[in-house]
């Protein structure tokens, strides 16, 4: 196995670092607690950042750490340019950016433009103001339907469950207008037709760019603009926030007008030079549509949720990889690759689920088809090793390098996701993928917090997955990631062309085996339930560079190998 670290490939210029970057997502609440309150914070991140640099990634993306009532894990922002006291101060943010840069890591921060918190000064002002006032015009207020305005203005549903409208009480105590919130009722949607809203966000971007960030992950980048007249719409059951496989216009997602906003943001970033980036969170299908978010004058990257959502079988994986390279390539953008984040069931569990599980619903003790942990981990390792060989840029979610599964057995009283509350427990939501990280196997709270506290309980099985239990241990998931990231650089995989291999060992590649070449590396993935002898693949163990599972004389089920060609 190779662990050499070579300089990043030079086929792209330094200002185009993002075309090949591996970007590590930090969810600040759950990364490391520096002040002992059981909630992760910026000082905790600064103290532990060398572990992330050591992994061999190029950049970090920080989920929101801004002032917020924390009704949606900080995606309910009450002040976009102030660090929330639970996470630290703006001085800490500046130190964190500086420390990351010292370690050679670029820094992306989250920006949440679709909505504010209901505690934002603008929304408070809107509540005090009259219907039709300038203060109301920054949000989407409407009179209700029905004889006395007692019904919501349309039938839209919140992504977190329940109606997407809440009625207010006017300042004089009378039942009043309704406001739109595609997410929690504490997250009123902004009116992006307002020039004041647009101008304010230009300044929010400049504020963080001035502080030295290298770019932004843009929340709900397919939302923001709603169809004129706000027509009724009801998504197909189980469609999650993604829609189906086909492009289907949704009155609140994927409206043409959002692209003008991204062009304007691109111009703001270019004031700071060519190397600051925008990454879209846009749950849009099919991939050809999503690629519109990364046209040359818009964003730089979009999270490839089609890849994340693809079934674990050879045909689906091959199709989504090929389509991704085509769709993003057609607009001159790199494909991204992602398997986990703070909104989805961790892939060490998701890939072994045996029942349908719509995006965002989460899993808990009563979910059907719960995963077998060993199978999940095996598949996750295979999927990650395959992903890290793919050309383009990849996103990792904190803890996946440890092989962490979803925490399924969180007691009801600890749950915090608004999805859980808005569906009266019918959907578990996303707490299970947000559990604080295990750093030290035998310390209280696994070293997440010196005070031994953790805002969500950590499962007992995590002792063996703690970072210190895996560091330097050959074959551990952590060492597999480190080796893969190092070899990805050494062999220039991220800038290479991918070529599918259809014949191995003089015969067609077996069904449920996927093989492709990138630069000097051949990647073979066994997605079948049977071991495939190496001799059938025309492969020798002395070609082995990295494997997701031990290889003796066969490729075991759910195993990926990188071979020297
Ligand atoms: C997407 C974020 O990733 C998610 O965590 C959040 O709940 C919604 N957007 C609303 O901001």
SS (H, E, C) 483-511: HHHHHHHHCCHHHCCEEECCEECCEECCC
Handedness of CA 177, 181, 182, 184 (dihedral sign): negative
What confidence tens digit (pLDDT) does each residue in 312-369 have? 999 999 999 999 999 999 999 999 999 999 999 999 999 999 999 999 999 999 999 9
Tokens of 319: 């199709």
Q: Whose CA is nearest to atom 3 of ligand 1?
A: 343
In a mutational test of the pocket of ligand 1, which residue from 219, 279, 308 has the highest number of ligand atoms less than 8 Å from its CB?
Answer: 219
Tokens of 511: 């069904």
Q: What is the pLDDT of residue 245?
A: 67
Q: What is the pLDDT of residue 1?
A: 33
The CATH architecture one would assign to domain 121-180 is: Alpha-Beta Complex (3.90)
Q: What is the DSSP letter of 436?
A: P
- CA 219 to ligand 1 center in whole angstroms: 6
Q: What is the pLDDT of residue 4?
A: 38
Question: Across residues 38-48, what is the average pLDDT?
Answer: 98
- Angstrom distance (rounded) from CA 171 to CA 174: 7
Could you give phi then psi for residue 327, rounded to 5 degrees? -65, -45
Q: Which atom belonging to ligand 1 lies closest to the Cα atom of 182? A: 10
List, edge to edge, every strand of the sheet that includes 165-169.
Answer: 141-142, 175-180, 165-169
Tokens of 8: 């990043």
Tell which phi-psi region holds residue 552, choosing left (phi > 0), alpha (psi between -120 and 50) or beta. alpha
- Angstrom distance (rounded) from CA 94 to CA 398: 21
Question: Across residues 469-493, what is the average pLDDT?
Answer: 98
- CA 429 to ligand 1 center in whole angstroms: 12
Q: What is the pLDDT of residue 244?
A: 55
Q: Are 562 and 381 spatial neighbours (Cβ–Cβ below 8 Å)?
A: no
- CA 561 to ligand 1 center in whole angstroms: 35
In a mutational test of the pocket of ligand 1, which residue from 26, 28, 73, 220 has the highest number of ligand atoms less than 8 Å from its CB?
Answer: 220
What confidence tens digit (pLDDT) does each residue in 221-248 have? 999 999 999 999 988 764 544 445 677 7
Q: Taking Cα atoms as reference points, which of 421, 420, 460 lies closest to residue 442?
A: 460
Q: Is 49 in the pocket of ligand 1 (CB under 6 A)?
A: no
Tell me the pLDDT band of 13, cut-offs 50, 70 and 90: confident
Q: Does domain 16-114+195-477 match CATH 2.60.40.10?
A: no
- CA 477 to ligand 1 center in whole angstroms: 28
Could you give phi then psi for residue 328, rounded to 5 degrees? -75, -40
Q: Is 343 in the pocket of ligand 1 (CB under 6 A)?
A: yes
Question: Across residues 251-267, what is the average pLDDT?
Answer: 97
Q: Is 110 in the pocket of ligand 1 (CB under 6 A)?
A: no
Angle at 55 between CA 54 and CA 58, to 5 degrees: 95
Distances in Å between the alpha carbon of 460 and those of 198, 320, 463? 47, 36, 6
Strand partners, 526: 513, 559
Q: HSE on the CB side for 432, CA within 13 Å?
A: 27
Tell which phi-psi region holds residue 478, choosing left (phi > 0), alpha (psi between -120 and 50) or beta. alpha
Q: Which atom belonging to ligand 1 lies closest to the Cα atom of 112? A: 11
Q: Which atom belonging to ligand 1 lies closest to the Cα atom of 76? A: 11
Q: Which atom belonging to ligand 1 lies closest to the Cα atom of 430? A: 5
Angle at 277 between CA 393 and CA 309, to 5 degrees: 40
Q: In sequence order, what are the residues at sequence separation of 6 or more whose Cβ sits closer than 8 angstroms to the Cβ of residue 202?
A: 264, 265, 268
Q: Whose CA is nearest to atom 11 of ligand 1?
A: 75
Tokens of 282: 């846009």
Q: What is the DSSP letter of 561?
A: E
Q: In sequence order, what are the residues at sequence separation of 6 or more whose Cβ sits closer than 8 angstroms to the Cβ of residue 23?
A: 57, 58, 59, 60, 61, 108, 279, 393, 394, 395, 396
For all residues of the chain together, what is the average pLDDT? Answer: 95
Question: Across residues 12-37, what is the average pLDDT?
Answer: 95
- Which stretch of DSSP H or E encloses residue 123? helix 121-128
Q: What is the pLDDT of residue 204?
A: 98
Q: Is 72 in the pocket of ligand 1 (CB under 6 A)?
A: yes
Could you give phi then psi for residue 397, rounded to 5 degrees? -110, 130
Active-site positions read 219, 271
Q: Is 179 in the pocket of ligand 1 (CB under 6 A)?
A: no
Residue 382 CA, distance from chain mean position: 19
| 533-539 contacts at long range (C-beta below 8 A, 24 or more positions apart) | 535/505, 536/504, 536/505, 536/507, 536/510, 537/504, 537/505, 537/513, 538/504, 538/505, 538/506, 539/504, 539/505, 539/563
Q: Give, rounded to a whole angstrom, the gap between the first and last alpha carbons of the chain.
A: 15
In a mutational test of the pocket of ligand 1, which residue from 183, 253, 279 has the highest number of ligand atoms less than 8 Å from its CB?
Answer: 183
Q: Which atom belonging to ligand 1 lies closest to the Cα atom of 183? A: 10
Which residue is it, tokens 């111009």? 267
Q: Is 220 in the pocket of ligand 1 (CB under 6 A)?
A: yes
Q: In sequence order, what are the residues at sequence separation of 6 or more whose Cβ sits closer than 8 angstroms to the Cβ of residue 25?
A: 60, 61, 63, 341, 342, 395, 396, 397, 398
Distances in Å between the alpha carbon of 330 and those of 334, 362, 520? 10, 34, 25
Q: What is the pLDDT of residue 2?
A: 35
- Angstrom distance (rounded) from CA 25 to CA 470: 20
- Angstrom distance (rounded) from CA 65 to CA 246: 35
Which residue is it, tokens 């962490």? 404
User: Can you tell me whether residue 110 is helix, strand or coil?
Assistant: strand
Angle at 139 between CA 129 and CA 252, to 5 degrees: 155
Q: What is the pLDDT of residue 12?
A: 60
Q: Are 524 and 561 spatial neighbours (Cβ–Cβ below 8 Å)?
A: yes
Q: What is the pLDDT of residue 241?
A: 45
What residues does each domain of the chain span?
Answer: 16-114+195-477, 121-180
Q: Is 112 in the pocket of ligand 1 (CB under 6 A)?
A: yes
Question: Across residues 54-83, what is the average pLDDT?
Answer: 98
- CA 305 to ligand 1 center in whole angstroms: 14
Which residue is it, tokens 């719960």? 370
- CA 284 to ligand 1 center in whole angstroms: 15
């Amino acid at each position: 196995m190779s662990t050499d670290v070579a300089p990043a490939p030079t086929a792209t210029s330094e200002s185009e670092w993002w075309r090949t970057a591996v970007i590590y997502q930090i969810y600040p609440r759950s990364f490391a607690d520096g002040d002992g309150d059981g909630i992760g914070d910026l000082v905790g991140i600064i103290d532990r950042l060398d572990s992330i640099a050591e992994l061999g990634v190029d950049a970090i993306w920080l989920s929101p750490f801004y002032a917020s009532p924390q009704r949606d894990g900080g995606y309910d922002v009450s002040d976009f340019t102030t660090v929330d006291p639970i996470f630290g101060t703006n001085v800490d943010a500046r130190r964190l950016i500086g420390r990351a840069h010292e370690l050679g890591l670029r820094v992306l921060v989250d920006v949440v433009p679709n909505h504010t918190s209901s505690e934002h000064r603008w929304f408070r002002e809107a509540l005090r103001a009259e219907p039709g006032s300038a203060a109301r015009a920054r949000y989407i207020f409407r009179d209700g339907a029905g004889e006395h305005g007692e019904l919501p203005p349309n039938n839209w549903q919140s992504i977190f469950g329940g109606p997407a409208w809440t009625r207010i009480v006017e300042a004089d105590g009378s039942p009043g207008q309704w406001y739109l919130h595609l997410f929690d009722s504490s997250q009123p949607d902004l009116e992006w037709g307002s020039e004041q809203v647009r101008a304010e966000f230009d300044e929010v971007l400049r504020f963080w760019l001035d502080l030295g960030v290298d770019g932004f992950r843009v929340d709900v980048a397919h939302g923001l603009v709603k169809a004129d007249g706000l027509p009724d719409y009801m998504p197909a059951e189980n469609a999650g926030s993604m829609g189906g496989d086909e492009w289907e216009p949704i009155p609140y997602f994927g409206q043409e007008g959002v692209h003008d906003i991204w062009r304007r943001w691109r111009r703001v970033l270019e004031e700071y030079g060519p190397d600051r980036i925008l990454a879209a969170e846009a749950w849009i299908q099919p991939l050809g549509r999503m690629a519109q978010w990364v046209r040359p004058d818009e964003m730089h990257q979009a999270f490839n949720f089609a890849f994340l959502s693809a079934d674990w079988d050879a045909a689906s994986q091959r199709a989504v990889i090929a389509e991704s390279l085509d769709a993003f390539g057609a607009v001159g953008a790199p494909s991204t690759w992602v398997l986990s984040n703070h909104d989805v069931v961790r892939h060490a569990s998701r890939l072994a689920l045996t029942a349908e599980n719509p995006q965002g619903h989460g899993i808990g003790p009563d979910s059907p088809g719960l995963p077998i942990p060993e199978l999940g981990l095996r598949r996750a390792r295979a999927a990650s090793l395959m992903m890290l060989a793919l050309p383009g840029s990849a996103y990792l979610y904190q803890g996946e390098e440890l092989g962490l599964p979803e925490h399924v057995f969180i007691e009801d009283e600890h749950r915090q996701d608004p999805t859980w509350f808005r569906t009266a427990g019918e959907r578990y939501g996303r707490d299970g993928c947000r559990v604080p990280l295990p750093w030290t196997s035998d310390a209280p709270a696994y070293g997440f917090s010196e005070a031994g506290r953790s805002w969500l309980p950590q499962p007992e099985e995590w002792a063996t997955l703690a970072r210190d239990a895996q560091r330097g241990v050959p074959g551990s998931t952590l060492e597999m990631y480190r080796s893969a990231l190092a070899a990805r650089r050494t062999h220039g995989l991220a800038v290479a062309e991918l070529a599918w291999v259809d014949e191995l060992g003089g015969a067609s590649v077996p069904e449920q085996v996927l093989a492709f070449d990138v630069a000097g590396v051949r990647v073979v993935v066994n997605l079948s339930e049977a071991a495939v002898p190496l001799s059938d693949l025309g492969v020798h163990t002395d070609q082995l560079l990295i494997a997701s599972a031990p290889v003796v004389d066969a490729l075991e089920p759910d195993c990926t190998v990188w071979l020297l060609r």
